[in-house]
Amino acid sequence: MTDDRSHRDTLIKRVIGIIDRHDPFSLRASGAPENEFEPQARRIVDARKRCMDQQSCLDVVWATFTDSFGTSVGPKESFESMASEIFSLLEDANLGARPFWSKPGNDEFRTPDPRNVPGTFYVLKDCCLLCGIPWGVAPELFGYDDNGCWVKRQPATQAENEKMLKVIALQELDCIRPR
């Protein structure tokens, strides 16, 4: 747990550095304290699982700033460069901000749960912690019992595919994967 907290703190400091460099409201240039953007950096780092690509990271960054400072922050496009840099940092840190189609390293020994139906998406065997996200978001696509969940049906429509991708984005342990 200490390593996780240390990684998070380091990530927050690096996001503060990115925000300071971009200085979206010229606050730092006008003498604001070094930690001026710490609350926004914390929110962005804590929402890193929602930063699945540059566009979704832009959405997180812009929402963070509009929540903090109101709509006077300007258009979303004005945050593109900052969000792109933050996304690259989060992706490099490999703390939940990688694209959903990439696979984390060091788990070659993990195999799909045999209860998964054939198809694009699957759940890793012995990975599920019964968090409830899959059947809360897409109950028609997942089965579960006391031992974990599995893909009981592959998405058949665009709406179901979007639900599956939402489950992948929200999950905590990267147990649900595309092939």
Q: What is the CATH number of the domain that holds 150?
A: 3.30.70.20
pLDDT tens digits, 157-176: 999 999 998 888 888 777 89
pLDDT tens digits, 98-132: 444 444 444 444 689 999 999 999 998 888 777 78
7 & 88 share domain: yes
Report yes or no on whether pTM surpasses 0.85.
no
Q: Which of 154, 122, 158, 125 minimizes the C-alpha distance to 140?
A: 154
Q: How many domains does the chain have?
A: 2
State the pLDDT at residue 71.
82
Are 129 and 136 spatial neighbours (Cβ–Cβ below 8 Å)? Answer: no
Beta partners for 142? Answer: 151
Structural domain contains residue 136? yes
pLDDT at 97 exceeding the cut of 70: no
Beta strand 148-151 with 176-178 is unpaired
Q: What is the CATH number of the domain that holds 63?
A: 1.10.340
Domain that holds residue 161: 121-178
Structural domain contains residue 70? yes
User: Which of 93, 111, 137 is the last residue before a domain boundary?
Assistant: 93
Residue that is written with structure tokens 């962005």 in the block:
44
